[in-house]
């Protein structure tokens, strides 16, 4: 089961983000969703005007609601052990690449 956990998201290190990308297909899929979520947040939800914790909360909610129930994620998750950590690593990597910030 995957939960919204801001502290877990913040605990992911930069080294985790560069050393734990195992599947380029799921990475591309998550990158597309992250880009859509951040673009929509900036356009419709004043993403740039909210606190860092609110940004992370918004980001996780909107990404997880799209990714977790998807067939692509379900198929990938069936092949790995720690689905939540893996997903959070992908998400933090793309959060950084999309926003230029690395929440810690």
Based on the number of CB atoms within 10 Å of its own CB, is 43 exposed (0-12), middle (13-18) or buried (19 or more)? exposed
Which pLDDT score, from 0 to 100, does residue 54 have?
93
Q: Is the Cβ–Cβ distance between 80 and 86 less than 8 Å?
A: yes
Cα gap 2→88, rounded to integer Å: 10
The phi, psi pair for 70, rounded to 5°, reads: -75, 150
Which pLDDT score, from 0 to 100, does residue 83 have?
87
The residue extents of the domains of the chain are 6-99
For residue 55, CA distances in Å to 9, 38, 43, 50 come to 12, 9, 14, 6
- Residue whose entry in the numeric block shows the structure tokens 């052990």: 81
- Residue whose entry in the numeric block shows the structure tokens 């992911």: 12
Residue-wise pLDDT tens for the chain (104 aa)?
788 999 999 999 999 999 887 788 999 999 999 999 999 998 988 888 999 999 999 999 999 999 999 999 999 999 888 888 999 999 999 999 999 999 99
């Amino acid at each position: 089961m995957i939960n919204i956990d801001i502290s877990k998201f913040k605990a992911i290190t930069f080294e985790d983000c560069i050393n734990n990308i195992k599947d380029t297909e799921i990475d591309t899929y998550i990158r597309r969703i992250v880009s859509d979520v951040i673009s929509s947040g900036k356009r419709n939800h004043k993403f740039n005007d909210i606190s860092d914790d609110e940004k992370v909360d918004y980001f996780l909610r909107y990404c997880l609601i799209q990714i977790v129930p998807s067939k692509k994620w379900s198929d990938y998750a069936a092949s790995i052990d720690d689905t939540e950590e893996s997903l959070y690593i992908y998400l933090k990597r793309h959060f950084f690449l999309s926003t230029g910030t690395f929440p810690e």
